[in-house]
Amino acid sequence: MMSTRRLMMAAALAVTLGAASTVEGAVILVDNTNPQSIPGLTGFSTTGAMMSGMSVTAVFDTFTETRAWGTTGPTAGGVSGSGWALTEVGDTFGGTWSFVNSGAGLLTRLILDGISGLTVFDKTNPSFGTDGSAQGLDFVTNLAGDATIVATYRNPVAIGAAGAVGDIFHVVDVSFVGLSAGGVRTNFQFNQDTDNDSRFTVPEPGLTVLFGLGLLGAGRARRRRSR
């Protein structure tokens, strides 16, 4: 696992749509069309438990599936699909997201849409751009050949009537087709910082437990059907 310091040093500079910056981690693109506005940010410390409702779409060679993120523990959250899962535990700044591919096929694209989860994706630059966002972190993975992965940030986010600064976005859209295999069949990890919309409220502990049990039950059901 790469250290947080190394990840920060390797993160790419934001660029306009159509231009790219290739560094360790990914090719970073920015789509500044379709700007959106939110009331404000809660602060710059967001955990896996603070993104409930976020939409996660996994595109494989034979099917596409979208699932809603849920809280699974005090600082943990995730989604579980047909032969795949994505989880994150702890603070997303420097924390690790884990993608598990348990026979779903070749993953070619992963789209994280935070608008329904009151979540924004905070890029490295401009650093300390939007009030309340602090330092961000661009998408970076532990995959070999990750410099051929393309992460596109879409739907720039502004606070109130002010214009978008260019560091926070509602969507990060990651393409893996540039890898030698045309995608990913294995488990992998990545880092991506997030912040919360000021309308976010911490879920009740009881709901956290119920959702966690639901994910566990779904996983067991899939294993039984696969036998």
pLDDT tens sequence for the chain (227 residues)? 333 333 233 332 222 233 333 335 799 999 999 999 999 998 768 999 999 999 999 999 999 999 999 999 999 999 999 999 999 999 999 889 999 999 999 999 999 999 999 999 999 999 878 887 888 999 999 998 888 999 999 999 999 888 899 999 999 999 999 999 999 999 999 999 999 988 887 655 544 444 444 454 444 444 333 33
Are the beta carbons of 95 and 191 closer than 8 angstroms?
A: yes
Contact in structure between 170 and 154 (CB atoms under 8 Å): yes
Tokens encoding 152: 């596109």
CA neighbor of 82 nearest in space, from 189, 225, 227: 225
Closest residue by Cα to residue 129 from 171, 167, 162, 155: 167
Dist. CA 132–CA 129, nearest whole Å: 9
Cβ 189 vs Cβ 98: under 8 Å: yes
Could you tell me if 17 and 32 are in contact, meaning their C-beta atoms sit under 8 angstroms apart?
yes
201: tokens are 């409220």
CA distances to 30, 63, 109, 176 from 181, rounded to whole Å, are 25, 17, 13, 9
| Neighbour tally for 160: CB within 10 Å | 9
Domain residue spans of the chain: 4-219
Here the tokens at position 187 are 């488990």
pTM for this model (two decimals): 0.80
